[in-house]
Structure 1
Amino acid sequence: MREKLENLLKDRIALLAGERKQSRKTFEDERLLKKKSSLKQRGGQLVKVIAKGNVEKMTEREAVYTIHWSFAIKHGDQFYIEEEIERRRAAFSLGELVEDEELMMPSEEEDDRGWSMDESWRNWPDFHYDRLKAVQYAERWWNEFNPAYPKFNDDCTNFISQCLRAGGVPMWGQPERTRGWWIDGKSNWSYSWTVAHAFMLMLKGAKWTVEVGSPRELVLGDIICYDFEGDGRFNHNTIVTGMDGYGNPLVNAHTTNSRMRYWNYEDSTAYTPYIQYRFFHIKTR
């Protein structure tokens, strides 16, 4: 069964490299081809693809495994490496592969109703935001969990909160979970620390952010918030860690652990045509 997974991975690499045509229409093939097509439309070129598989568990009927994708990309005169970790489940019958699907992380379950902004937010302490430290943290921990913090299956907002804290944003509002932005050890935190929508509302109301209208107005260490369904409730956050050859943001994120990923997430399994974005520039004092 390991051999069949290895062959499947080699087949997908060959598809991306242009060494084979799409012989069957699978969701995974469509996603990979969309990534390649999107890059081409932006004037980029996929130079090399490396994929490393790791089997987490295997039985006679199924295997749970991860793929570490590395994409070497040329954009204008710039080269960079985009990375992504994909977790999948394969099902077998009589030794034959019959199903292969991405394992989606559960949505955030915390009920953040009651979280709100008020005039007291004007009391947030002044600080200097160190963009370099925030980005360095995002690079160090993009594919790992810092043991100093709690670990969540749906970890995107927890990770971005950690990045902001590493950049010098002070915590405020403790101990009220419906107020401020803070964490206390591994067992207590504000909703805005871990819940994507509350985090977006926090950025929207904070005196140290400016919402801008275009991703090209962002710089390293700034934040992008995503409402994949376009229903008004935001469910993902990323931090800008680089720029492509044309000044478009590249981002790091958790949940589907990603590094130097193109900001718009059009190749994500969560993407819909109704997606909405919010772009937050953090003021540097």
Structure 2
Amino acid sequence: NTMLASAYSYSAMANYAKSYAYSYNPAYRSFPNDCTNFISQAMSFGGWSMVGGFYTLNSAWWYNSIHQSYTWAGAENWYWFARGSGRTSYLSNVWYMLLADVLQVDFDRNGNINHTMIVTTVGSSDLYITYHSTNTRDRSLRSFITQFPNAWYYAHRT
């Protein structure tokens, strides 16, 4: 894992997200709910390699000019891929996140993850997250949690 982790560029992931926070990279399709597609692009840009397999499998993670795996663009599917592949580890507290870590949210607490975001700035007393769907750059994590205090949060160390 240490060898794999050293191949990732967390600053590249965060910078990619900041660069495309308000726009869409023309090399990729966009979706009405684009948050996980956006995060997958950032992970790929930072060094995550694609994993082939049937598009509905949570063990596959890929994108091409015609289609993509469910894990590429679906929040719940991305969760299962990221955890099952060993590319992320679970953080017990959102405040343990670092640059390019991923935060996912289950807004209605029904066990189905609805939204995916990336940490793009680490401040001295707050973290700042960037995401698509409501294209947002460097939003205070504190303000996000204040707005959605009853949501379930899933923090991933990338």
Fold match, TM over 0.5? Answer: yes
Q: Which amino acid aligns with 2:64?
A: D
Which of the residues 182, 193, 200 maps onto 2:62? 182
Structure 2 partner of 1:72: none
Whether the aligned pair in 2 keeps the contact of 1:215 and 1:249 (CA below 8 Å) is: no
Distance 2:131 2:71 in 1: 17
Structure 2 partner of 1:250: 128
Offset at residue 228 of structure 1 (A): 0.4
Residues 1:214 and 2:93 aligned together: yes
Structure 2 partner of 1:259: 137
Map 1:119-130; keep pairs closer than 5 Å: 126=4, 128-130=7-9
Larger Rg: 1
Offset at residue 209 of structure 1 (A): 1.4
Structure 2 partner of 1:277: 153
Work out the number of aligned pairs and report it: 151
Whether the aligned pair in 1 keeps the contact of 2:94 and 2:153 (CA below 8 Å) is: no
Which of the residues 107, 116, 126 maps onto 1:237? 116
Residues 1:173 and 2:52 aligned together: yes
Structure 2 partner of 1:200: 79
- Larger relative contact order (CA 8 Å, sep ≥ 6): 2
Distance 1:149 1:235 in 2: 21
Offset at residue 153 of structure 1 (A): 1.3
Map 1:98-109; keep pairs closer than 5 Å: none
Q: Which amino acid aligns with 2:25?
A: N
Q: Which amino acid aligns with 1:274?
A: N
Higher share of residues assigned helix? 2
Distance 2:36 2:17 in 1: 12
Whether the aligned pair in 1 keeps the contact of 2:105 and 2:113 (CA below 8 Å) is: yes
Q: Which amino acid aligns with 2:9?
A: D
- Name structure 2 gaps, 5 residues minimum: none
Distance 1:140 1:200 in 2: 24
Offset at residue 267 of structure 1 (A): 5.8
Q: Which amino acid aligns with 1:184?
A: N
Q: Secondary structure at the residue paired with 2:103?
A: strand
Offset at residue 252 of structure 1 (A): 0.4
Q: Secondary structure at the residue paired with 1:204?
A: helix
Higher share of residues assigned strand? 1
Structure 2 partner of 1:137: 16
Offset at residue 250 of structure 1 (A): 0.8
Post-superposition CA distance 1:25-72 (Å, at most 9, x none): xxxxxxxxxxxxxxxxxxxxxxxxxxxxxxxxxxxxxxxxxxxxxxxx
Offset at residue 263 of structure 1 (A): 2.2
Whether the aligned pair in 1 keeps the contact of 2:117 and 2:131 (CA below 8 Å) is: yes
Q: Secondary structure at the residue paired with 2:133?
A: coil
TM-score (norm 2): 0.89
Q: Secondary structure at the residue paired with 1:183?
A: coil
Structure 2 partner of 1:29: none
| Aligned-residue identity in percent | 30
